[in-house]
Amino acid sequence: MNLHNYLMERKNMAEAALDKLLPSVLDTPVRLHEAIRYSVLSPGKRLRPILVMAGAEAVGGYPEDVLPASCALECIHAFSLIHDDLPCMDDDDYRRGRLTNHKVYGEAMAMLAGDALLALAFELIASNIDRFPADRVVEVSRLLAHASGNRGMVGGQVVDIESEGRDISPDEIRYIHAHKTGALLTASVLSGAVLCGGDELQINRLRSYGESIGLAFQIADDILDIIGDQEKIGKPVGSDVKQNKATFPKLYGLEESKKLAEEEMRKAISNLDIFGESAEPLRQIARYIVERDL
């Protein structure tokens, strides 16, 4: 399997589906729909949609069948990025190499575009009722709500904000990363696998895989904020240090952080030992997550 080709192919599938499933700029309210499409369709890695498809494939499903769910995950992700960039949060001007949503559309519209994207995500999940059994669709709704809300991404963001400017413990930073970033990545893998009928053992193993790649991904993100190439990552480097954010390099140093990310990658891959060739994309994605340069 060639990972580069796999990622490109799945990314193209996700982007074509997003283009089709997102509201048209010809529909009212036009400005809201422009703001939504501006952020969602801006150049991103599409890691969460790709993980939905790879999770489906691991349990014998087809990537085409989980495209609406893949789009739902990217909508939730885009919502979190738009809100994360707002003046009341990180107050960032650039994201994915472009001006942030509020810089182009204003603060109120950016907030509303984010809200609408979260709602749209659940509409997309509910639309799965035409192709998958109802109990699987309900379970995916539950796990996405859990991963996005107070016990997931929002909870992680709150602890992150509360930690700014003070020393934090290893447990606290793990909590922040697991919730702010890991929860949605784990939910991505699980959404595909649950919809395509993964059994209990497979789902448990994929949950552990997701938790490990989630942590590895965020450690790699912390490292890239120090040694990354601004052109490639599409936003200024050094913003974590400037905002006195809780990061792995701050707590453990750069070299130890790299080792910890690699350890999580190995843990992730070892959780896939019950799967055969069908989980090869997930194995290679785990490696890519720590080796990436954007």
Judged by the rule CB under 6 A, the positions of this chain that interact with ligand GRG are 44-45, 47, 77, 80-81, 83-84, 89, 96, 153-154, 157, 180-181, 221
> Residue written as tokens 């890695």?
45
Q: Could you tell me the two tokens for 223?
A: 């490292």
Q: What is the DSSP string of 16-60?
A: HHHHHHSPPTTSSSHHHHHHHHHHHTSS---HHHHHHHHHHHHTT
> Residue written as tokens 């890519």?
288
Distance of CA 105 to the CA centre of its chain: 23
Of the CA atoms within 13 Å of residue 3, those in its CB half-sphere come to 15
**Closer to ligand GRG by Cβ: residue 55 or 198:** 55
Question: CB of 3: closest distance to ligand GRG in angstroms?
Answer: 16
The DSSP 8-state label assigned to residue 275 in this structure reads -
Q: Say if residues 293 and 229 touch (Cβ distance below 8 Å).
A: yes
**Closer to ligand GRG by Cβ: residue 137 or 185:** 185
Helix (H) or strand (E) holding 280: helix 280-291
Question: CB of 157: closest distance to ligand GRG in angstroms?
Answer: 4
**Closer to ligand GRG by Cβ: residue 44 or 198:** 44
**Closer to ligand GRG by Cβ: residue 137 or 251:** 251
Residue type, 151: R
Question: CB of 111: closest distance to ligand GRG in angstroms?
Answer: 8
**Closer to ligand GRG by Cβ: residue 96 or 146:** 96
Cβ-proximal residue to ligand GRG, closest one: 44
Question: CB of 112: closest distance to ligand GRG in angstroms?
Answer: 12
Question: CB of 104: closest distance to ligand GRG in angstroms?
Answer: 16
Q: Could you tell me the two tokens for 264?
A: 């999580």
**Closer to ligand GRG by Cβ: residue 81 or 215:** 81
The DSSP 8-state label assigned to residue 127 in this structure reads G
Question: CB of 201: closest distance to ligand GRG in angstroms?
Answer: 28
CA nearest 180: which of 83, 52, 43, 251?
83
**Closer to ligand GRG by Cβ: residue 59 or 289:** 289
Question: CB of 158: closest distance to ligand GRG in angstroms?
Answer: 8
d(CA 6, CA 222): 26
